[in-house]
């Protein structure tokens, strides 16, 4: 049984930019969220595969390039224990199966790596992340930054910041 953690990128792995919570434009703009290095190191030591699943619709909209998105992901890959990245470059209008809240990114990775989704988690800071995790049959962890937008329905866990996520896994381990 292979377990995995599927993390959103912007807002979970790295901080968003500005009051509109936008993704960084280049890898030079990337600032890791507080506690992400420790969280990923712990999860890796517990045997989880770690994936980044991210919507990057600015590529479809023409305000970002695939090259810059890949450079950001390569930078994160170099400094964090991430197994793989899955990226959707589409906008809602493209109606693709990979754009969260659909679960295409997660399901494709689960097939590729033989992951047991019922023993896996999706971590996100937006309703789309949580709904994608629920659609895939994963447990969900919502980081509630109190954005002024639609909120997710019934995530399994809610935290206020990334560094609090480790407590979910440490407490769960003590209960076993």
Residue pair 113/49 in contact (Cβ under 8 Å)? The answer is yes
Catalytic annotation on 10?
A: yes
Name which of 115, 119, 145 is nearest 8 in CA terms.
145
Catalytic residue among 10, 103, 125, 129: 10
Q: Any bridge partners for residue 49, and if so which?
A: 4
Catalytic residue among 8, 103, 125, 129: 8
Residues with catalytic function:
8, 10
């Amino acid at each position: 049984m292979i377990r995995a953690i599927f993390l959103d990128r912007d807002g979970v792995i790295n901080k968003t930019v500005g009051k509109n919570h936008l993704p960084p434009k280049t890898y030079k703009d990337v600032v890791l969220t507080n506690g992400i290095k420790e969280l990923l190191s712990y999860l890796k030591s517990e045997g989880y595969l770690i994936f980044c699943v991210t919507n990057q619709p600015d590529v479809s909209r023409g305000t970002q390039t695939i090259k810059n998105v890949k450079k950001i992901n390569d930078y994160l890959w170099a400094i964090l224990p991430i197994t793989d990245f899955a990226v959707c470059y589409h906008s809602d209008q493209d109606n693709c199966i990979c754009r969260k809240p659909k679960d295409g990114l997660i399901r494709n990775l689960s097939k590729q790596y033989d992951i047991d989704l019922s023993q896996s988690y999706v971590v996100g800071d937006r309703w789309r992340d949580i709904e994608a995790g629920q659609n895939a049959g994963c447990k969900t962890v919502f980081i509630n930054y109190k954005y002024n937008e639609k909120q997710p329905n019934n995530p399994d866990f809610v935290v206020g910041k990334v560094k609090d996520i480790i407590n979910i896994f440490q407490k769960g381990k003590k209960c076993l």
